[in-house]
Amino acid sequence: MSDRGKIDRDFFDQYIYPNLGAERDDVAVGPRHGVDFGVLDAGGTAVVTATDPISILPDLGWERAARFALGVVLADVAVSGIPPSHLAIEFSLPPEMTDEAFAAVWTTMDEELDALGTSVLTGHTARYHGCSFPWVGGATVMGVGDHDEVIRPDGARPGDHLLITHGPAVEAAALFANLYPDQLQDAGADVDLDTLADRLPETGHVRDALLAAASGPVTAMHDATECGLHGALVELAETAGVAIEFDPEAVPVADDVRAVCDALDMDPRASTTSGTLLIAVRPEGVDDVLAALRERGTPVADAGRIRAGTGVSVDGEHLSHPEEDPAWRAYAELAAAADGSDD
């Protein structure tokens, strides 16, 4: 297992998957590596659930940090096609976080939740010694709907088209442009960092997922978080038991993103890119989903095909899961450089 970031499949299969508590008939979709959500059957109603850490980055500004954190949390339910309806949230705050700072975070979250139709169901908020930014809590999101409306993570079928929004490493590059502009310039990233910083995903990909689900026969969706686009492709193929033929030229790495990745020796297609969605769509719905997302202003491309078989191929070559996200190493190095410059 990597010492940074999400656990790998071997760790999950050895330690997590064999030990899931009691077996219950009401668990319609349970834990699987690389799957965004679970589904509980509550008397014939589907309750889609997902749990994630809350990451608040003060250097983004409290309001923007709140929207970014919330978007990451809500997306894992939104990719089911069921709108996130309820939120249970826990804050373990550092003692130095002031009441005013927390109020800015919480009121911003309230505004976003209200706009999305999501209600806070329960929670816990406290300050504890030993807690520190950015990891300041956790949240469970729920969405309530009909079982036949849930876009299952294993739903991709041969013949589907694979649509991809935004592209590789947008989150990682934009996050670094926000947090470490001086260090990126020192590393040789000769780009407009202000423009790149504005591309940081907040809650737009939540709306993208729900719009895609409403626009055509979508069979599966996945948010490309840790290990980026390549990791998400492998996870989607493994979960559905299908093969994916991916065309990298359809979703090229943006020039400013590539400049940052080159400066930090990061593979952009293996780097975290929350906000980038993989959307499997039946052939007859492709044009409608593309049109709806583009009308909303979301960059999207038809970038692959789902085939019978297993694995992911890129230009005829087999693609393996990256296992470790290079953005974690880059983040640590940039943070160390920033600490050194502050001394």
Backbone torsion region of residue 109, taken as left when φ is above 0, otherwise alpha when ψ lies between -120 and 50, otherwise beta:
alpha
| 332 sits in which H/E element | helix 326-342
| 312 sits in which H/E element | strand 311-314
| 198 sits in which H/E element | none
| Residues of the chain falling short of pLDDT 70 | 1-4, 341-343
| 339 sits in which H/E element | helix 326-342
Question: What does the alpha-carbon distance between residue 162 and residue 245 come to, in Å, rounded to a whole number?
Answer: 9
The contacts of residue 272 (CB under 8 Å, 6+ apart) are: 169, 171, 172, 224, 225, 226, 227, 228, 325, 327
For the stretch 125-146, pLDDT in tens is 999 999 999 999 999 999 999 9
DSSP label at residue 102: H
For the stretch 261-302, pLDDT in tens is 999 999 999 999 999 999 999 999 999 999 999 999 999 999
**Residue 234 confidence (pLDDT):** 96
**Residue 269 confidence (pLDDT):** 97
Question: What does the alpha-carbon distance between residue 245 and residue 188 come to, in Å, rounded to a whole number?
Answer: 34
Q: Which residue has the tokens 């737009």?
A: 204
